[in-house]
Structure 1
Amino acid sequence: MPPFSFAVDGLSATMLVTLAVILVAVLVFAAADIGASLRFYVLMLVFAVAMAITVTATNIVTLLVGWEIMGAMSYALIAFWWREPRRATSGAIAFLTTRAGDLGLYLAAGAAFANGQTDLSGLSGDLVAAGIVIAALGKSAQLPFSFWLSRAMDGPSPVSALLHSATMVAAGAYLLIRVNPLLEQTGWAGPVVAWVGVITALVLGAVAVAQTDFKQMLAASTCSQVGFMVLAAGTGGAQAGTAHLVAHAAIKSLLFLAAGAWLTILGTKQLPELRGAARKYPLIGVTFTIGALSLAGVPPLSLWITKDAVLATAPTAIYVVGLAAVVLSGVYVGRALQHVWAREGQRQKANVLLQVPLPFLAAAAAVFGLVIAPELHLTWWELVLSGGLAIVGIALGRVAFQAKALEGWLGLEPATRKVIVKPTMALAAALARFDDKAVDGGVRAAAATGDLFAKVASGRIEVTVDGVVHRIGAAAKALGRWARRPQTGQLHHYYAQAAVALALLAVLLMIVR
């Protein structure tokens, strides 16, 4: 087995800096939201360390270690308030769904080892590529795995902010960008990844539009925006995908922390009940608005540039679908802004720690794209087109829109229960019965048979042998008692006994002759 191996290059260094910045912001916010919970901070730090291991791993064994720890910590953090049954169940669903995808990474590792491959930069083969693609899509909540991210919203707000921005959800997209040469080598993996990414961006954008729960809207938008990163990995746009990942990390952590602040203060995450929240708490409202407009791709904010850079790498059909996803981004952002800026409520004060990270993240959401723009291959007419469509989408956000199927995340979780969970549980129950009746039953029967023989041996043979010994001893004692009776000490008795003995001896001699 190869040793653990780490390295920091341009891609992993970018991810480490992003992780560190978002982690500090989230922990400052958590000090006000969660309080002094040692268990929470330990879990968060281990979670972050696992992400650091994942992004700096140079071989498949090291990657598996970071990947596994990250998955375990995600369950512990999502189910942090485990005494509430729904939260515990949500943690289990998120964990098991991502674990189903993680089987692909084990498949890839097995195939790589069989071919003598361990270094991530030297991976090859269709089976290795297929396994990595499945694992990455599961971790990044792309279709058909997207529903686990909906259940992850039952975790604390700081967990959502970190998980959706710089750690677990980003890990799958990062891995696909890291192994981009492998995807290109197969010929099929790149196009498949690109199409899954852009379809997720479009469909989950529509799901976000249908949400009335603020955190659910942000969760669906995460799936949609990560879809653009996955698209970039499939089309070979590693630089554009990385830029989009970093910009999205700042924006999404900002939006989740703002949503968490309103949830802590107002006790609700329902959009209709957040009417006027931005006017009541202006700092939260202004920073949230910057992040939301950037998420939609409004010029000149960050995601306008990075999203356009991603689309520039795509073939025409994927490009058109991606533009439709851009419109939907504007629609759900427009709906959210319409609610939080409604003319209701008066200005109020909020906990300072809840607001401290927001201006810094808002600044990154605003200017990062402009800083990175010279490094990206951008075309002015594409920028104008995508920016204009984002503004059109925001305008359409005022239109009422309801769709139960979309609000329920396409029914993916119930469908998974019917198609996968129930058959799996039925098979498990059948195997359990087989184990009880055949395997364990055979063991119990063998044990019972052995016990029976033991009882027979102890209750019959031992009793018989022991009884014979006792009887021989009793007979010897009886003979001893009879032998003592002639010993009377009287001389005439001894003469009589001698006479009888001589007579018996004489009779015996006559019979023998």
Structure 2
Amino acid sequence: MSWPLWALIALPLGSGTALAVLGRRADRAAPGTAVAAATATLGLACAAATTRPEAAAPLLDGLPVRLAADGLSGPVAVATAAVTLAVLVFTSRGNGPGEARARFSGLMLLFSGAMLTTVTAQTLPVLLMAWELMGATSWALIGYWWREPARVRAAGTAFLTTRAADLGLYVAAGAALAGGGAGGLDLDQLSGTTGPWLSVVTAGVIVAALGKSAQLPFSFWLSRAMEGPSPVSALLHSATMAAAGAYLLLRTGPLLTTSGWGGPVTAWAGAATAVLLGLVAVAQTDLKQLLAASTCAQTGFMVLAAGTGGITGGTLQFLGHAAAKSLAFLVAGAWLTLLGTKALPGLRGAARRHRVAGATFTVAALTLAGWPPLVLWGAKDLLLAAALKHGTALYAAGLAAAVVAAVYSVKALWFVWSPAPGAARDGTGSRDGGAARDGGGALPVPASWALGGLALACAALAVLAFEPARGTFARALGTAGEPAPHGWEVALSTTLVLAASAAVLRRAARPLPLPPAVTAWWGDWMRLEALARLLLVRPVLRLAGALAAFDDRVLSRAVRAAGHGALRAAGAVAVLDARGPDRATVSAARATLRLARATGRPDGCAGEREEWLDGLVRGVASGAAALGRLARRPQTGQLHQYLAQAVAAFTVLALALVLVAVR
């Protein structure tokens, strides 16, 4: 029975499209409609994870649309749907007076639907369509307050960075076709690509995944994405876009293994990101920037697991991080709304003033820190056990990243629980899309429900860190043979995490004894954006300028010279014709005159024919003019217009495929 799987992607995509298209007319009904759609989607995701259906529909010759909810995609789909529901419940009181609530809710549902399609896709064409839709909707959500240029520029930075990396997926698809035919576009068959095309496919998948999940060297785009509303960050960082690349690497583990070099490169990329971006998080004085850098670092653990074959640990990391990071971002947004600040010094005492937010943020922070017995404690030990099988150096890097994770998580906890010296504000304002706008001291009831539900999810997932639940989960994933951590590994990692946490609590308020230049370098995300502009943006712009100059100075001159030459030749022919036209020319002119007189006679049917032809010509001309006017309307040169058209086209295509499959 495949209809629940089609409904799983059609419901959020269809309802999201409807809300976005209706716009202001649906603002009043949008929050309730979005929550209802998300609730139904969660039910369908749970049913799909339990029954594991498969679905197919014709698309191209020998290449149908194939979807499936298997051992890996089932739990990930449930996490995506659950986080979407929690975020939409949190924002059900609206995004503030005058905000476009239907547009926001519709884009959030489209974003979630694109991730669900990515998760259940079994072929590269379907994955690519969902991948592109996810990127387009992320751009629209990050730049949700489009009247503010800084936010739009941040959305453009995030979109163009990930879009550049996405080209790797197109290269991989082309190489898979070249090396395996249409059947090679099946995700499970990528490892069967023949010849040197295997390395090209592997490289393309790795680049696209690292860019989507903000791994080094693409990490800086996630910092700019903080300009969007906090509910957007809660969804983007937890179970959708920032985790999509890691999911793809976990999904294509056989490809990384078969290539020989893909696994080690992926593992070291994840380990390096987990360590270095963890240090960036430690250096932050802004809570949202700390959480953003920690997303890169925590996703690095998933990438490390994919490279070492630790699928069980990587999947547990995905689930635990989805619940904890969405919870942390929602609380950060609530504090920004209620207190008007996101600076850590200005948040002192925030957890004491708002106990529900403080308690739930504590659960999220301790989960990210890997404190026992929470789920990421068991997840990190599992993936570190897989890393140890690939070398002591990789294991040491992963262990160092776990220690750094404890440092930045406990640092945030220290600030929000330490006594407040006074009413401190950073002057940033409270426009963040939080759950409340009144500046008061209490969260709305739906927001408290959402935070409580995510905190309970973190606690419930902790069961998977222990046997026999962990073994049952591994068998469901089909990864029962993976290495398990020894007792000394668990003891070592736990001791280091607790020791690092105690050290932070002793000296959290004191700055690190580093030169200001070094501290600024870490705080500025290692100047990755400046490096990207130096190595990528400026060379591309210079190349574009050179091509434009070539077009103006060379091609245009050549065209003008050719035009002058043609005019001179025409003049010479006219002079020759005036001096002595040949007999053939005279005969042709006389025949043309006779034909004109015959067709232009006003008598009989000839006159009617002439009027009919004239009317036909006028109709064609009028129709062409009308089509021209319509064609010019979307040609505004504005990026959001083209993205909206792309989203609409992909959504219509997805709905058409669903209708074909149901029929």
- Where on the TM-score scale, by shorter chain, does this alignment land: which range? 0.7 to 0.9
1:122 aligned to 186, 189, 192, which one?
189
| Inter-partner Cα distance in structure 2 for 1:189 and 1:25 | 36
- How many angstroms does 1:351 deviate by? 2.7
Are 2:139 and 2:159, in contact at CA under 8 Å, matched by a contact in 1?
Answer: yes
Tell me, in whole angstroms, the C-alpha distance in 2 between the residues paired with 1:63 and 1:448. Answer: 52
- Quick one: which of 122, 137, 149 aligns to 2:210? 137
Distance 1:263 1:353 in 2: 18
Q: Distance in 2 between matches of 1:354 and 1:454?
A: 79
Report the structure number with the largest CA radius of gyration: 1
* Unpaired stretches in structure 1, ≥5 consecutive residues: 466-513
Q: Secondary structure at the match of 1:350?
A: coil
Where does residue 236 of structure 2 map in the other structure? 163
1:167-246 equivalence runs, <5 A: 167-246=240-319
2:443 alignment partner AA: A
The letter of the residue matching 1:322 is G
Aligned to 1:491: none
- The equivalent of 1:385 in structure 2 is 492
C-alpha distance in 2, partners of 1:139/1:99?
9
Equivalent position of 2:634 in the other structure: none
Of 325, 330, 335, 2:406 maps to 330
Shift of 1:449: 5.4
1:29 to 90, 110, 119: 90
Determine the C-alpha separation between the residues in 2 that align with 1:6 and 1:211. 41
1:451 deviates by 6.3
Contact 1:78 1:159 in 2 (8 A): yes
1:283 shift after superposition: 0.3
2:426 is the alignment partner of 1:365: no
How far residue 122 of structure 1 moved from its aligned partner, in angstroms, is 0.7
For residues 395 and 249 of structure 2, the distance between their equivalents in structure 1, rounded to whole angstroms, comes to: 20
**How far is 1:462 from its partner?**
8.6
Q: Secondary structure at the match of 1:5?
A: strand
Is 1:55 paired with 2:126? no
**Partners of 2:572 and 2:444 in 1: how far apart?**
80
Aligned to 1:341: 417
Aligned partner of 2:69 in structure 1 is 8
1:510 matched to which residue of 2? none
Per-residue displacement from partner, 1:158-188 (whole Å, max 9, x unpaired)? 1101010110111100000111001111111
In 2, Cα distance between equivalents of 1:326 and 1:168 = 23
TM, length-normalised to structure 1 = 0.86
- Label 1:307 to 1:33 Cα distance change in 2 as closer, same or farther (>3 A): farther
**Higher alpha-carbon deviation: 34-43 or 443-452:** 443-452
2:155 aligned with 1:88: no
Question: Using the alignment, how far apart are the partners of 2:547 and 2:488 within structure 1?
Answer: 61
- Cα distance in 2 for partners of 1:264, 1:444 equals 62
SS of equivalent to 2:328 = helix
C-alpha offsets along residues 368-397 of structure 1, whole Å, 9 cap, x if unaligned?
032353225343332232222222222232
Question: Contact 2:271 / 2:397 at 8 angstroms: preserved in 1?
Answer: yes
Pick closer, same or farther for the CA change 1:130–1:266 going to 2, 3 Å. Answer: same
Letter in 1 for 2:540: T
CA distance in 2: counterparts of 1:440 and 1:364, whole angstroms: 65
1:313 aligned counterpart, secondary structure? helix
Distance 1:453 1:382, change over 3 A: same
**What is the CA RMSD across the aligned residues, in angstroms?**
2.3
Aligned residues: 465
Match of 2:535 among 419, 426, 429: 419
- The whole-number CA distance in structure 1 between the counterparts of 2:578 and 2:337 is 78
Equivalent-residue separation in structure 2 for 1:463 and 1:87 (angstroms): 71
Partners of 1:232 and 1:441 in 2: CA distance: 58
Letter in 1 for 2:347: L
Distance verdict in 2 for CA 1:384–1:32, change over 3 Å = farther
Q: Is the 8 A contact 2:94 2:101 kept in 1?
A: no
Question: Is the partner of 2:146 in helix, strand or coil?
Answer: coil
The 5 A counterparts of 1:459-474 are none
CA distance in 2, matches of 1:215, 1:165: 14
CA contact (8 A) 1:331 1:395 kept: no
Are the counterparts in 1 of residues 285 and 345 from structure 2 also a CA contact under 8 Å? yes
Q: State the Cα distance separating 1:232 from its structure 2 match.
A: 0.5
AA aligned to 1:216 is: Q
Q: What's the secondary structure of 1:31's corresponding residue?
A: coil
1:319 lines up with 2:412 in the alignment: no
In the TM superposition, residue 452 of structure 1 has moved relative to its aligned partner by: 7.1
Query: What do residues 301-345 of structure 1 show as CA deviations (whole Å, max 9, x unaligned)?
Result: 121111111111112211111111111111111221111112227
Q: What does 1:419-438 correspond to in 2, within 5 Å?
A: 419-438=535-554
- Deviations, residues 23-60 of structure 1 (Å, cap 9, x unaligned): 00111122235255211112111111111111111111
CA distance in 2, matches of 1:166, 1:66: 15
Q: Cα distance 1:455–1:360, how it changes in 2: closer, same or farther (>3 A)?
A: farther
Q: Which ranges of structure 2 fall in alignment gaps of 5 or more residues?
A: 1-59, 192-197, 424-439, 472-483, 513-518, 582-663
State the match for 1:306 in structure 2. 379
- Give 1:458 deviation, angstroms: 9.1
SS in structure 1 at match of 2:185 = coil
> Which among 165, 170, 194 is matched to residue 106 of structure 1?
170
Opposite residue 207 of structure 2, the aligned amino acid is I
Instruction: Tell me the equivalent position of 1:248.
Output: 321
SS at match of 2:281: helix
For 1:382, give the aligned amino acid: E
Kept in 2: contact 1:297–1:386 (CA 8 A): no
Residue number in structure 1 paired with 2:596:
none
Question: Aligned pair in 2 of structure 1 residues 366, 385: CA closer, same or farther (>3 Å)?
Answer: farther
> Which residue is equivalent to 1:296?
369
Alignment CA distance shift 1:386-1:366 (3 Å)? farther
Q: Which moved more, 1:435-444 or 1:248-257?
A: 435-444
In structure 2, give the amino acid aligned to 1:419.
L
How much has 1:199 moved relative to structure 2?
Answer: 1.1
C-alpha displacement of 1:229? 0.3
Aligned match of 1:406 in 522, 538, 543? 522
- Report sequence identity in percent: 53
Residue 191 of structure 1 and its aligned partner are, at CA, apart by 0.8
Identify the range of structure 1 (105-114 vs 81-90) with the bigger mean alpha-carbon deviation.
81-90
